[in-house]
A = this chain, B = another copy of it.
């Protein structure tokens, strides 16, 4: 990972903040509290890794238009909604997210449910915008893809497995499937949607999907490692939670060293899939190092 990479990551996060602020509804009317809660949840935090992946994949293939950033804002709205709902008392019951009180703590439970609903709905409104891409079929593909990645066969399905399968029934295969749905599906979408926006060939699309799958799983394994090793202040949410809850994770199953090795192996394989892109693939390659070496 070069320091250029850190600058680029920060730069895209800053642009995302601007685009999200412009594209989220402004507080207005008797229901202004919902717009405030949506903005509270979505603005001012996060690495914006998913938008970064979409933007950099599209950029690698030659699309650097404003439309890519709007599509990335839609993706982030969907990601943020999932955090807001996952944090609810009836799910993971978390008080802190991205270093500030979760939405149901800052507002209340009803507003957290509705703000999540609003962000999820808004994601699709954004993707349908003319400004995203001149080809209507590309926009429809982005919409269909986001619904699939975010739905019962994707992210929601992963969360269901996470809250309903008992810890004792979790082996490495189940945790892998859980994570491929819960976080992997949306990370794969980030890259895949960037590929569509960039007009990727079928072969390019396949390479990028493989890259995203391996990198996404490495990301999740690193998350489990950070839960053991990380600093709560840096991570921006509670750590040590998995162990306290007796949760089966990649670390509890593979051991800390085994988890590190697996993440490194997946990271190396992910980079391998970028070979066809030559030096244009440098940023996505650096992303793998970032994912593996991040402290939060």
Contact = CB atoms under 8 A, between A and B. Distances in A.
Interface stretch (A65-73, A159-167, A221-229): A159-167
A109 interface: yes
B109 A157 contact: no
Nearest to A169: B30
A122 B152 contact: yes
Give this chain's copy count.
2
Contact of A85 (B29, B113, B137, B158): B113
Contact of A158 (B31, B127, B128, B153): B31
Q: Is the interface of A mostly helix, strand, loop or mixed?
A: helix
A114 B157 CA distance: 9
B29 A118 contact: no
Interface in A135-189: 136-137, 139-140, 143-144, 146-148, 150-153, 156-161, 163-165, 174, 177-178, 181
The 8 closest A-B pairs by CB, nearest first: A125-B147, A90-B109, A136-B136, A31-B157, A128-B144, A31-B160, A34-B160, A121-B151
Interface of A: 25, 29-31, 33-35, 38, 81, 85, 88, 90-91, 108-111, 113-114, 116-118, 120-122, 124-125, 127-129, 136-137, 139-140, 143-144, 146-148, 150-153, 156-161, 163-165, 174, 177-178, 181
19 contacts: A25-B152, A29-B153, A30-B161, A31-B160, A31-B161, A31-B181, A85-B117, A88-B113, A114-B156, A116-B117, A117-B156, A118-B151, A118-B152, A122-B152, A124-B124, A125-B144, A125-B151, A127-B143, A136-B140
